[in-house]
Amino acid sequence: MTLADFLSQHSAVITVTLTRVRGSSPREVGATMYVADNAMRGTIGGGQLEYMAIDKARALLRKGVTEAEMDVPLGPEIGQCCGGRVELSLTLMDRASRAAALEADAKAQAARPVVQIHGAGHVGRALAQFFAHLPVRAILIDSRADELSQATDQVEHCLCPLPEAELRQAPAGSAFIVLTHDHALDFLLASEALARGDAAYVGMIGSATKRARFDRFCRDTAPHISTAALTCPMGAQGSADKRPEIIAAFITAEVMAALTSHQNSKRLHKNKKSPNHPTVRTSPNDDPTL
């Protein structure tokens, strides 16, 4: 359910936002969830903290109170062991705040990193199912209509006779997963992705032998392209299990780690260019979301 759908179904909604974090916390400053009398959307980290916030928000709705604050220690007294302390703001949404929330949500959706899955075979379809639940814009691309028709996920489908054209049009920081039905096409797409020089992840299905052949292919046909950034085999640190769903699970984790690292690097670069911009650190082991 989209935020627009959620807000259209509930006339009274409390916004719960993390406004301050000291020490360790399950979420970062700015994390938000929306609470109605019988539903919710989003999360501030789960656990007892979230249950307390939901109870508080629904109490405000019952009493007709429009705002409140919470200051919660994340320790044994509430059954959590994060060890930090958080402050929350709870505010009844009005027309202006609903419009602002929808605008912010639209911007966040537009800023999601693109993941192009080239190849709608067994592994490609399994990958699409995983990425459908993650904060990315996943696109399943193939020239075969029958293979795309078998995909049951909710990601975008692209029936395209020239998949390299889709690859060239992707924004900087995209992830490219290449696992087509044709080795020659794999080589073409992987080399195109590497030639861009701005991808967060380039992966190609195959063995160490296929990787060696691809390296030779690039040396012979495109020596200007470095293959150092190519991940092949993909998900190799996971499991020897060759079932499509298992392979896809490890590749998904690998891609999301690369996208997170890429986004963190962009944030650090932005902060270095803007030394007067305040940086909020939520904990020594902060793990920002995409």
pLDDT tens, residue by residue, 232-265: 999 987 778 889 999 999 999 999 999 999 988 8
User: pTM here?
Assistant: 0.81
Residue 202 has pLDDT above 60, yes or no: yes
Between helix 244-273 and helix 122-131 the angle, nearest 10°, is 50
pLDDT confidence of residue 278: 46
pLDDT confidence of residue 1: 84
pLDDT confidence of residue 80: 61
What's the average model confidence in pLDDT over 209-218? 96
Tell me the pLDDT band of 46, cut-offs 50, 70 and 90. Answer: confident
Residue 283 has pLDDT above 50, yes or no: no
| CATH number of this structure's domain 114-267 | 3.40.50.720
How do residues 47-99 score in pLDDT, each as one tens digit? 889 999 999 999 999 999 999 999 998 876 666 666 688 999 999 999 999 99
Residue 186 has pLDDT above 50, yes or no: yes
What's the average model confidence in pLDDT over 213-240? 92
pLDDT confidence of residue 263: 84
pLDDT confidence of residue 244: 94
pLDDT confidence of residue 103: 97
Tell me the pLDDT band of 228, cut-offs 50, 70 and 90. Answer: very high
pLDDT confidence of residue 284: 36
pLDDT confidence of residue 240: 83
pLDDT confidence of residue 153: 79
pLDDT confidence of residue 207: 92
pLDDT confidence of residue 282: 39
Residue 189 has pLDDT above 80, yes or no: yes
How do residues 1-35 score in pLDDT, each as one tens digit? 899 999 999 999 999 999 999 988 889 999 999 99
How do residues 129-171 score in pLDDT, each as one tens digit? 999 999 999 999 999 999 999 998 789 999 999 999 999 999 9
How do residues 106-124 score in pLDDT, each as one tens digit? 999 999 999 999 999 999 9
- List the domain boundaries for the chain: 3-109, 114-267
pLDDT confidence of residue 77: 64
The set of residues, in sequence order, having a beta carbon less than 8 Å from that of 77 and lying 6+ positions away, is none
